Protein backbone atom coordinates (compact mmCIF):
# COMPACT_ATOMS: atom_id res chain seq x y z
CA UNK A 1 0.00 0.00 0.00
CA UNK A 2 1.53 3.27 -1.11
CA UNK A 3 1.26 5.64 1.82
CA UNK A 4 3.69 8.30 0.71
CA UNK A 5 1.57 11.42 1.06
CA UNK A 6 1.68 13.80 -1.88
CA UNK A 7 1.72 17.54 -1.55
CA UNK A 8 -1.80 18.86 -1.33
CA UNK A 9 -3.36 19.90 -4.60
CA UNK A 10 -6.54 21.95 -4.75
CA UNK A 11 -9.58 19.69 -4.93
CA UNK A 12 -7.81 16.63 -3.55
CA UNK A 13 -7.69 17.51 0.13
CA UNK A 14 -9.65 14.46 1.27
CA UNK A 15 -7.32 11.96 -0.39
CA UNK A 16 -4.24 13.89 0.71
CA UNK A 17 -5.39 13.64 4.33
CA UNK A 18 -6.17 9.93 4.03
CA UNK A 19 -2.70 9.23 2.66
CA UNK A 20 -1.10 11.46 5.29
CA UNK A 21 -2.92 9.63 8.09
CA UNK A 22 -2.01 6.24 6.61
CA UNK A 23 1.62 7.30 6.52
CA UNK A 24 1.48 8.36 10.17
CA UNK A 25 -0.06 5.02 11.13
CA UNK A 26 2.74 3.17 9.33
CA UNK A 27 5.42 5.28 11.02
CA UNK A 28 3.98 5.20 14.53
CA UNK A 29 2.76 1.63 14.53
CA UNK A 30 -0.86 2.54 15.17
CA UNK A 31 -3.46 5.26 15.24
CA UNK A 32 -1.56 7.44 17.70
CA UNK A 33 -1.93 10.69 15.82
CA UNK A 34 -4.09 13.80 16.00
CA UNK A 35 -5.97 15.60 13.26
CA UNK A 36 -3.40 18.37 13.39
CA UNK A 37 -0.65 15.82 12.67
CA UNK A 38 -2.43 14.68 9.51
CA UNK A 39 -2.98 18.30 8.49
CA UNK A 40 0.67 19.13 9.01
CA UNK A 41 1.78 16.06 7.05
CA UNK A 42 -0.54 17.00 4.18
CA UNK A 43 0.72 20.57 4.26
CA UNK A 44 -2.56 22.26 5.14
CA UNK A 45 -3.91 24.28 8.05
CA UNK A 46 -5.07 22.59 11.25
CA UNK A 47 -8.67 23.51 10.40
CA UNK A 48 -8.59 22.14 6.85
CA UNK A 49 -9.30 18.45 7.70
CA UNK A 50 -12.67 19.36 9.17
CA UNK A 51 -13.93 20.27 5.72
CA UNK A 52 -14.10 16.55 5.00
CA UNK A 53 -13.94 14.74 8.36
CA UNK A 54 -15.92 15.58 11.47
CA UNK A 55 -13.23 14.14 13.75
CA UNK A 56 -10.30 11.74 13.92
CA UNK A 57 -12.61 8.72 14.00
CA UNK A 58 -14.11 9.71 10.66
CA UNK A 59 -10.63 10.13 9.17
CA UNK A 60 -9.50 6.79 10.60
CA UNK A 61 -12.57 5.10 9.10
CA UNK A 62 -11.59 6.50 5.70
CA UNK A 63 -8.01 5.26 6.11
CA UNK A 64 -9.22 1.75 6.97
CA UNK A 65 -11.55 1.85 3.98
CA UNK A 66 -8.56 2.82 1.82
CA UNK A 67 -6.55 -0.09 3.25
CA UNK A 68 -9.31 -2.59 2.44
CA UNK A 69 -9.58 -1.16 -1.06
CA UNK A 70 -5.82 -1.53 -1.55
CA UNK A 71 -5.85 -5.13 -0.31
CA UNK A 72 -8.72 -5.95 -2.65
CA UNK A 73 -6.86 -4.46 -5.60
CA UNK A 74 -3.73 -6.46 -4.82
CA UNK A 75 -5.64 -9.71 -4.42
CA UNK A 76 -7.53 -9.15 -7.68
CA UNK A 77 -4.27 -8.47 -9.51
CA UNK A 78 -2.43 -11.63 -8.45
CA UNK A 79 -5.26 -14.02 -9.28
CA UNK A 80 -5.09 -12.90 -12.90
CA UNK A 81 -1.58 -14.30 -13.19
CA UNK A 82 -2.60 -17.90 -12.41
CA UNK A 83 -4.51 -20.52 -14.45
CA UNK A 84 -8.30 -20.31 -14.21
CA UNK A 85 -9.71 -22.75 -11.67
CA UNK A 86 -6.30 -23.76 -10.34
CA UNK A 87 -5.11 -24.30 -6.80
CA UNK A 88 -2.32 -21.86 -7.66
CA UNK A 89 -4.89 -19.08 -8.03
CA UNK A 90 -6.17 -19.72 -4.52
CA UNK A 91 -2.64 -19.87 -3.16
CA UNK A 92 -1.70 -16.62 -4.90
CA UNK A 93 -4.59 -14.88 -3.15
CA UNK A 94 -3.46 -16.19 0.23
CA UNK A 95 0.11 -15.11 -0.41
CA UNK A 96 -1.03 -11.61 -1.39
CA UNK A 97 -3.05 -11.44 1.82
CA UNK A 98 -0.09 -12.47 3.97
CA UNK A 99 2.24 -10.13 2.10
CA UNK A 100 -0.10 -7.18 2.69
CA UNK A 101 -0.35 -7.91 6.41
CA UNK A 102 3.40 -8.36 6.85
CA UNK A 103 4.23 -5.23 4.86
CA UNK A 104 1.72 -3.10 6.79
CA UNK A 105 1.70 -4.44 10.38
CA UNK A 106 -0.23 -1.56 12.01
CA UNK A 107 -3.20 -2.19 9.77
CA UNK A 108 -3.66 -5.82 10.85
CA UNK A 109 -5.29 -4.83 14.13
CA UNK A 110 -7.02 -1.77 12.69
CA UNK A 111 -8.67 -3.54 9.77
CA UNK A 112 -9.81 -6.67 11.58
CA UNK A 113 -10.38 -5.23 15.05
CA UNK A 114 -13.04 -2.97 16.51
CA UNK A 115 -11.98 -0.01 14.36
CA UNK A 116 -12.40 -2.07 11.21
CA UNK A 117 -15.85 -3.28 12.23
CA UNK A 118 -16.88 0.32 12.84
CA UNK A 119 -15.43 1.49 9.54
CA UNK A 120 -17.32 -1.05 7.42
CA UNK A 121 -20.75 -0.26 8.82
CA UNK A 122 -21.33 2.04 5.87
CA UNK A 123 -22.56 0.02 2.86
CA UNK A 124 -19.91 1.33 0.46
CA UNK A 125 -17.10 0.56 2.89
CA UNK A 126 -18.57 -2.85 3.64
CA UNK A 127 -18.51 -3.73 -0.05
CA UNK A 128 -14.89 -2.64 -0.41
CA UNK A 129 -13.82 -4.53 2.69
CA UNK A 130 -15.31 -7.72 1.25
CA UNK A 131 -13.89 -7.28 -2.26
CA UNK A 132 -10.84 -9.42 -1.61
CA UNK A 133 -12.96 -12.17 -0.08
CA UNK A 134 -15.23 -12.19 -3.12
CA UNK A 135 -12.16 -12.68 -5.30
CA UNK A 136 -11.26 -15.69 -3.15
CA UNK A 137 -14.81 -17.05 -3.39
CA UNK A 138 -14.70 -16.83 -7.18
CA UNK A 139 -11.35 -18.64 -7.27
CA UNK A 140 -12.71 -21.36 -4.98
CA UNK A 141 -15.86 -21.69 -7.08
CA UNK A 142 -13.76 -22.03 -10.23
CA UNK A 143 -11.59 -24.67 -8.55
CA UNK A 144 -14.66 -26.62 -7.41
CA UNK A 145 -16.06 -26.56 -10.94
CA UNK A 146 -12.94 -28.35 -12.17
CA UNK A 147 -12.80 -30.87 -9.33
CA UNK A 148 -15.30 -33.35 -7.85
CA UNK A 149 -16.26 -31.02 -5.01
CA UNK A 150 -19.75 -29.79 -4.08
CA UNK A 151 -19.99 -26.17 -5.19
CA UNK A 152 -22.74 -25.54 -2.63
CA UNK A 153 -19.97 -25.36 -0.02
CA UNK A 154 -18.05 -22.53 -1.70
CA UNK A 155 -18.77 -20.00 1.05
CA UNK A 156 -17.69 -22.36 3.83
CA UNK A 157 -14.60 -23.47 1.93
CA UNK A 158 -13.65 -19.85 1.25
CA UNK A 159 -13.92 -18.94 4.92
CA UNK A 160 -11.74 -21.91 5.86
CA UNK A 161 -9.10 -20.91 3.31
CA UNK A 162 -9.29 -17.28 4.42
CA UNK A 163 -8.78 -18.33 8.04
CA UNK A 164 -5.71 -20.29 6.98
CA UNK A 165 -4.09 -17.25 5.38
CA UNK A 166 -5.25 -14.90 8.14
CA UNK A 167 -3.92 -17.16 10.87
CA UNK A 168 -0.55 -17.64 9.20
CA UNK A 169 -0.31 -13.89 8.61
CA UNK A 170 -0.94 -13.20 12.28
CA UNK A 171 1.53 -15.68 13.72
CA UNK A 172 4.15 -14.64 11.15
CA UNK A 173 3.59 -10.97 11.89
CA UNK A 174 4.20 -11.43 15.60
CA UNK A 175 7.21 -13.70 15.16
CA UNK A 176 5.68 -17.01 16.19
CA UNK A 177 6.52 -18.86 12.97
CA UNK A 178 10.17 -17.90 13.36
CA UNK A 179 10.00 -18.78 17.06
CA UNK A 180 8.97 -22.40 16.49
CA UNK A 181 10.23 -22.97 12.93
CA UNK A 182 13.21 -20.67 12.37
CA UNK A 183 13.89 -22.18 8.97
CA UNK A 184 10.27 -22.00 7.78
CA UNK A 185 8.93 -19.71 5.09
CA UNK A 186 5.36 -18.57 5.74
CA UNK A 187 4.52 -18.59 2.03
CA UNK A 188 5.72 -22.19 1.70
CA UNK A 189 3.63 -23.10 4.73
CA UNK A 190 0.57 -21.56 3.12
CA UNK A 191 1.22 -23.34 -0.16
CA UNK A 192 1.64 -26.78 1.40
CA UNK A 193 -1.32 -26.29 3.76
CA UNK A 194 -3.59 -25.20 0.92
CA UNK A 195 -2.60 -28.15 -1.26
CA UNK A 196 -3.19 -30.54 1.66
CA UNK A 197 -6.60 -28.99 2.33
CA UNK A 198 -7.72 -29.08 -1.31
CA UNK A 199 -6.41 -32.61 -1.86
CA UNK A 200 -8.34 -33.71 1.21
CA UNK A 201 -11.53 -32.28 -0.29
CA UNK A 202 -10.98 -34.23 -3.49
CA UNK A 203 -10.42 -37.49 -1.64
CA UNK A 204 -13.57 -37.06 0.46
CA UNK A 205 -15.87 -36.88 -2.56
Residues 30 and 104 in one domain: no
Same-domain status, 26 and 99: no
Mean per-residue pLDDT of the chain: 90
Q: Are residues 117 and 193 in the same domain?
A: yes
Whether residue 93 is found in the same domain as residue 144: yes
Question: Is residue 101 domain-shared with residue 120, that is, in the same domain?
Answer: yes
Q: Give me the pLDDT at residue 115, please.
A: 84
Q: Which of 21, 26, 28, 8 is nearest to 60 (CA)?
A: 21
CATH of the domain at 5: 1.10.10
pLDDT in tens, 179-202: 999 998 999 999 999 999 999 998
pLDDT of residue 124: 64
The structural domain count of the chain equals: 2
First to last CA, the chain: 40
State the residue range of the domain holding 13. 1-53
Does residue 6 surpass a pLDDT of 90?
no
Quote the pLDDT of residue 5. 45
Phi and psi, residue 121, nearest 5° = -65, -30
Find, among 184, 61, 82, the residue nearest to 126 by Cα: 61
CATH number of 116's domain: 1.10.357.10
Pair 87, 150 in one domain: yes
| This prediction's pTM | 0.89
Q: In angstroms, what CA-CA distances link 98 with 10, 57, 85, 108, 134?
A: 36, 27, 21, 10, 17
Question: 84-134 pLDDT, tens per residue?
Answer: 999 999 999 999 999 999 999 999 989 988 888 887 776 566 777 889 999
The arithmetic mean of pLDDT across residues 57-61, rounded, is: 93
Amino acid sequence: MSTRSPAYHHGDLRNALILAAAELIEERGGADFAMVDAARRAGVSSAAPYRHFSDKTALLDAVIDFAFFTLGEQVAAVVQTEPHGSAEAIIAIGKAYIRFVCEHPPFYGLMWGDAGIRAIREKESDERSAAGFYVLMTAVENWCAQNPVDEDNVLQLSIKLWSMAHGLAGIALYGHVERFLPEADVFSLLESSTHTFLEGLRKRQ
